[in-house]
Amino acid sequence: MMKKTIIIVALSSLACIVKAQDSLIVDTVDLKTDLLKIGKIITIKKGNSGNAVTLKLDNATISKPKKSVSIGFDFTRFDLGFSRYLDQGSFTLSPANANLDFLPSKTSNVGFDFFQFKYKASDKFRFYIGAGLDWNHIRLNNNVTFQKNQATLTATQEVINFTKNRFSSRYLRIPIGFDFTKTIQNDNKLHLVLGPELGFLLNGKVKQESKERGKEKFKDDYNFNPFRYGGFVRVGYKGWGIYTKYYFNDVFAKGQGPADFKNMSFGLSMGF
C-alpha cells in the first residue's frame, strides 16, 4: 500500500512539473549572462545584446534599456597635453613668424568641461553638448613682448632675458560629442568619442618673469581669433584616455596676424 502511494505522489509531482514547464517555454536563452534575478519574476540581461528578457509564470516579454536625459554642472573631460602650431601646413615656423618661436616641451593645452547636456540612447551610444574652459600656453623662446591694443599682432624686442615668457589664450569651449561605447568586463566601458568643438575667446594673456622686472602679467585679446572651430577625437577606458584636437581656422583674427597659422593639441584626458 505504501509503495503504491509513493508511486501515485511521484506521478502527480511529475505531471505538475510538466504543466509548469509548458507555461514557461520561451525561445532559447543563452545562459552566459551578466545578470540573473530569481523571485516571482526571472530577469536575464545579456551583456552584448543590450536587451533584458523577463520571464513570468505564463508569458515572456522583452524590454529594452530605458533612454535617459541629464543636464547640469559636472566637472569632466579634464585635458592636459601639448599644443602645437602649423605655419602654412608645416611644424617649422617661417622666418616671418620668428617672434612666435616656442619651446615644445613647455607649450601646453589645458581644459575641462563644467556643464553638460547628455542623452543616453542605449548602452552603446550617447550624445552630449558640453561647456568648459580651454587654455593654450605658448612658451616663447625669444625675449619679446606682444603689445596690447594693436591693430595687428605686434611684438617688441626686449633687452632683458626672461626666465619665463608665456603667451596664452583662454576660450569658452563648446564640445559636441558622439560617444560610442563597448562594455569590456564588469561594466567597464571602452569609449570612442568624436565630434566638433566651438570656441569663443575670453582673453589673451602675457606672463613674464625676469630678474629686472620680477613677475608681470598683461591681459588683452592680442589679436586672437574671437571664434574658432575644429574637431576632436577621444579614446578612453575606465575614465582615463587620450585626446587630440585640431582647429580649422587660424589662431589669429583675419588680417590681424599670421595667415594659415593653425593650432592642434594632444595629450591625456580624465573623465568620460
Sequence letter at residue 119? Y
Left, alpha or beta for 239 (phi > 0: left; psi -120 to 50: alpha)?
A: left
The residues, ordered by sequence, that sit 6+ positions from 187 with a Cβ below 8 Å of its Cβ are: none
Mean pLDDT calculated for residue range 119-125: 93
List 190's β-bridge partners, or say none: 182, 237
In degrees and rounded to multiples of 5, residue 83 shows phi and psi of -115, 140
Give the least confident one: 31-45, 137-151, 165-179, 222-236: 31-45
Tens-digit pLDDT profile for residues 76-114 = 999 999 999 999 999 999 999 999 999 999 999 999 999
Res 58: pLDDT? 52
- Looking up cell 607649450 gives 107
56 neighbors 41 (Cβ within 8 angstroms)? yes
Confidence of residue 25 (pLDDT cuts 50, 70, 90): very low
Task: Answer whether residue 203 shows pLDDT above 50.
Answer: yes
Give the least confident one: 59-63, 73-77, 172-176, 217-221: 59-63
Res 149: pLDDT? 96
Greatest mean pLDDT range, 10-14, 174-178, 237-241: 174-178
Res 8: pLDDT? 47
Confidence of residue 272 (pLDDT cuts 50, 70, 90): confident
Confidence of residue 56 (pLDDT cuts 50, 70, 90): low
The radius of gyration computed from the CA coordinates of the chain, to the nearest angstrom, equals 30
pTM: 0.76
Mean pLDDT calculated for residue range 113-124: 95
Higher-confidence residue: 157 or 185?
Answer: 157
